[in-house]
Amino acid sequence: MSDINITIKDRDGHIHKILAPTDMAMNIMEIVRSYELAPEGTIGVCGGMAMCASCQCYVHSKHAIPEKGEEEEAMLSEAFNVKKNSRLGCQISLTKELEGLYLELAPEEL
């Protein structure tokens, strides 16, 4: 079994406990889209190139997530509603180490 359990709080405050595969080269943004936890067109707008901030999320659990790359840092520096635990979902790959991850989707930028 290569699935992990993760918990996602959507933009309306609803909590979703979901199973995410680690063998499909998916990232957090993609798992959110596949479970339709945010309306289509409001997340993953650039397709996952760290070129928009529509998949920004706040990581609440203390997992050792790989550090931000330069592109992610640059994008977050221009995003709104950024907090210390902000990450771009598209830059976090689903791996076994993320079992039990808890994150919250940042509000949609209007």
Q: Please write down the long-range contacts of 16-25, taking CB distance under 8 Å and 24 or more positions apart.
A: 20/94, 21/94, 22/94, 22/95, 22/96, 22/98, 24/94, 25/93
Distance from C-alpha of 46 to C-alpha of 17, rounded to nearest angstrom: 26
Residue type (1 letter), 52: C
Binding string, residues 1-40; x marks residues near another protein by CB under 8 A: --------------------------------------xx
Site for another protein in 39-98 (CB under 8 A): 39-42, 45-46, 49, 51-52, 54, 70-71, 73-75, 77-78, 80
Q: Of 90 and 98, which has the nearer Cβ to another protein?
A: 90
Q: With contact defined as beta carbons under 8 Å apart, do 40 and 67 qualify? A: no
CB of 100 to another protein, least distance (A): 30
Binding site for another protein (CB under 8 A): 39-42, 45-46, 49, 51-52, 54, 70-71, 73-75, 77-78, 80, 109
